[in-house]
Amino acid sequence: MLAACVFVAVTLSLASAQRTTADYENCKTLGESRMQVAWTVRRDAQMIDFLLCGCAQDESQNIDVDDDVYMAFGLSESPMRTVMQGADVTVAWVNRMSEANAVDYHISGYIQCVAGAGACPDTLDLRGGCTNDVFDISGSRVDTKQCVAFSRNFSTSDDTCDLPIDPDNEEQYIVWAVGGLGNTAYKHFARASGTDEPIHLGRSPVNSCSTPLVCPDCPPFSAIEMDVRDQNATFLINIGPNALERGYMSIAGQPGWGNSIYINGTLIPRLRVVRGNTYTFICETGNSPDVLLPGGGNYHPFYITDSRVGGRLNSGNDRETVYAGFDDTDAPLGIGPYCEYKDSGASMIALDNCGSFQDYLGGLNKEACRTDDPPGVFTWTPDESTPDLVYYQCATHSSFGYEISVEDSAAVALTGSLSLLAIMLSATLLML
């Protein structure tokens, strides 16, 4: 069993003098004013000074996360377009103790960092020998805005994970992202540059960041409840975007992975079920474990567990109890063709402009399944041994699902109430 990578911040500094984008020769706004990158090229020292500024999590929200929102910026490996896989990026954030962090990452695949593959710090790369090559780190955080300054040489001694910076390349394609940051394991990038827009780092100085950052104070989404206590029900399981801090992070109260589980077209609903009823799960969540290798990530076996975070195939949690989704040989049942919901312009407008949860869900596009394979199907009948609260999760990635409330049927509850009443009446009679 592969162990999930646990990351310890290797570079910290207390916030020093606050730097702003005006302190740098160049600045560019990314993502409709959600993030800004400023830089100054120092040719004499063969290095570039960077400043990333973006939104931080509102501390009033009930989210179980220490170092909440990261900003990432770096180079695409492709000389022709923006490509996440193979990218060399710096992930930066300021935590709630005002410590600035910047970490050198290599993106070998669009998955969580598992055994050195996926979105991993260079120091954890499975090939070994990669190093953290960002330095001179400082930063500040004020309310919901954060800025982190760091430097990097044009070239480093790390030829495995780092890409050389050529300030004279007029068409250097970049990768950038923002997203939720977990306490113990880093998640894949939740929002990346969607346009193949090159950048010329060594251009004549142009500071185009006159427009301030936009950190909308939108209300979080609330979980949608699916109450199926009065019937045997069937659920269609897919994968889709987690709606960032308004979605999974707010609903589940913990950082997500960028994608989440969708049930009957709804992002992580809370299910209410009854002991004794039988529930059917039709799973279109990917069926090829090979995508766990670098370059993949579309393999999300659906299962039911007592773990709030899931990911049993990679978590190393030997104390987790599984209630459904695996057969007697421990093979996953909740797999099938990969059918995914995707963000669209309409869904992102709803997300960023304080639209409703229904506006967001209605704006998503469901892609055709990747293969014609039949979906995976399994049933689950909760019984008296099933706890009152369990979770549906992905078996290969943590923090994908949400809660299932398990209750007794009305008949069972009534029988229990009558039994209690009879006991109370008997005790009263004995006292007379």
For the segment(s) 12-199, the CATH number from 2.50.20.10, 3.20.80.10, 3.40.50.800, 2.60.40.1210 is 2.60.40.1210
For the stretch 349-387, pLDDT in tens is 888 788 999 999 999 999 888 778 899 999 999 999 999
- DSSP β-bridge partners for residue 100: 13, 94
Domains 12-199 and 225-411 share a fold: yes
Of 6-20, 235-249, 284-298, 400-414, where does mean pLDDT reach its minimum? 6-20
pLDDT, residue 318, reads: 75
Domain extents in the chain: 12-199, 225-411
* 121 contacts: CB under 8 Å, gap ≥ 6: 7, 10, 91, 103, 104, 105, 113, 132, 186
Q: Which of 382, 400, 375 is nearest to 323 (CA)?
A: 382
Contact 238, 285 (CB under 8 A): yes
Give SS3 for 237.
strand
Q: What is the mean pLDDT of residues 171-179?
A: 85
pLDDT, residue 305, reads: 97
Question: Which backbone phi and psi does 107 adopt, to 5 degrees?
Answer: -105, 95
Predicted TM-score (pTM) of the model is 0.74
Q: What CATH number labels 225-411?
A: 2.60.40.420
The tally of CA atoms less than 13 A away on the side-chain side of residue 318 is: 1
- DSSP β-bridge partners for residue 141: 146
Q: What is the C-alpha separation between 415 and 418, in angstroms, rounded?
A: 5
pLDDT at 59 > cutoff 70: no
Q: What is the C-alpha separation between 149 and 319, in angstroms, rounded?
A: 42
pLDDT, residue 188, reads: 44
Distance of CA 125 to the CA centre of its chain: 20
190 pLDDT band (50/70/90 cuts)?
very low
Q: What is the C-alpha separation between 173 and 196, in angstroms, rounded?
A: 7
Question: Which backbone phi and psi does 428 adopt, to 5 degrees?
Answer: -65, -45
